[in-house]
Amino acid sequence: MPVKALFKPFHLGTLELPTRVVMAPMTRSFSPGGVPNSKVIEYYRRRAAAGVGLIVTEGTTVGHKASNGYPNVPHFYGEAALAGWKKVVDAVHAEGGKIVPQLWHVGSVRRIGTEPDASVPGYGPSEKVKEGQVVVHGMTKQDIQDVIAAFAQAAKDAQSIGMDGVEIHGAHGYLIDQFFWEGSNLRTDEYGGSLASRSRFAIELIQAVRAAVGEGFPIIFRFSQWKQQDYTARLVQTPQALGEFLKPLADAGVDIFHCSTRRFWEPEFDGSELNLAGWTRQLTDKPTITVGSVGLDGEFLQFMVNTDKVAQPASLEKLLERLNNDEFDLVAVGRALLVDPDWAQKVRDGREEDILPFSREALMTLV
């Protein structure tokens, strides 16, 4: 299958991408003090130089006291962190690439003892108490407005330093997804109940981001059915329900949906071969990004624990067939790009035999 579809330009309003290859967001934890350094700058620059059209950064925490859940994760607030990201932007642009930050709040995943303020518990839609201690603070309406304001400010800052858009992280059981998911959202006010009501937080957040950046500045929204806490979880069971879930998000200001799956080739619903990105494109008429074990023969869950397993490069034939059929618009590549910054160039040049395999060791360094 010819690979040229993967290297055609993509245009959406002001967003002009040289290729359809997207670098998927991957938490790397190499930014001490929350500030991206010279190694982080070079990490992203190399991917842009080798043919990645759009880089979605690792998750970056917004300016809220409970947004972070992991050590050495970069911030997207504060003078030092934003100055660091400006250097990343300039380096990527100099290579002809485009870049957006993934704006992130981990919600109830946060644990007491986590930086930057160890005393702050997780924040989530519903309170959780363990052994007499509040381990998840149930968010008040003021808390909700504070987090929305933090996302809006981060988006405005992204625009001011020259980012090409923003991605809002609404997937994988983090804060926005915790509001979506009935297993974690037990609220009885207007932010709980039906899925439409549980979506209110995300809708208001997207609206605030749109108001902060104005029309024309791309907003990508990442969502998933699965959660880190439950890989079999499903927000919706049918295409109709998916459409009802997505339409208000699109109306609120989403330009592109980033549809997170563990394996891109798996059908989302019975009776059709379409994956989640394919259904989302069909139901919303918005461009979509597909993702999930692209270019590798082993999916990422195998590497969440210590293991000596190795994921070898895999055929792209099924992916290219779907892309040529306009099932989705863009293709996000994660671990294959993490381990091999020249992945896109090697694919374009037909040098598949030179592509590096992925092992857990790749997570230990930035290359």
Q: How confident is the model at residue 66 (pLDDT cuts 50, 70, 90)?
A: very high
**Model pTM?**
0.97
Amino acid letter, residue 8:
K
User: Mean pLDDT, to the nearest integer, of 290-303?
Assistant: 81
> Looking at 77, 123, 174, 191, which residue is catalytic?
174
**Backbone region of residue 150 per phi and psi (left: phi > 0; alpha: psi in -120 to 50; beta: other values):** alpha
pLDDT at residue 9 in the model: 97
DSSP string, 286-340: --EEEESSTTBSS-GGGGSSS---EEPB---HHHHHHHHTTS-SEEEE-HHHHH-
Rg (CA), the chain: 19
Joined together, the tokens standing for residue 97 give 């690439």
Q: What number of other Cβ atoms are within 10 A of residue 359's Cβ?
A: 16
Determine the pLDDT at residue 232.
86
Q: Look at the chain and report how many structural domains it folds into.
A: 1
Instruction: Tell me which residue range forms the domain holding 176.
Output: 4-364
Q: pLDDT (tens digit, 9 = 90+) per residue, 301-315?
A: 565 656 778 989 999
CATH code (residue 289): 3.20.20.70
174 a catalytic residue: yes
Q: Is 27 helix (H, G, I), strand (E, B) or coil?
A: coil
Residue 334 near residue 343 (C-beta atoms within 8 A): no
Q: What pLDDT is stored for residue 309 in this prediction?
A: 84
User: What pLDDT is stored for residue 317 in this prediction?
Assistant: 95
Kindly report each contact of residues 140-149 with a partner whose C-beta sits within 8 Å and lies 24 or more positions away, as own/partner.
Answer: 141/189, 144/191, 144/201, 144/204, 146/64, 147/62, 147/64, 147/67, 147/105, 147/123, 147/175, 147/205, 148/201, 148/204, 148/205, 148/208, 149/208
| pLDDT at 298 (0 to 100) | 72
Could you tell me if 184 and 108 are in contact, meaning their C-beta atoms sit under 8 angstroms apart? Answer: yes
Average pLDDT of the residues of the chain: 96
- Residue pair 264/319 in contact by the 8 Å Cβ criterion: yes
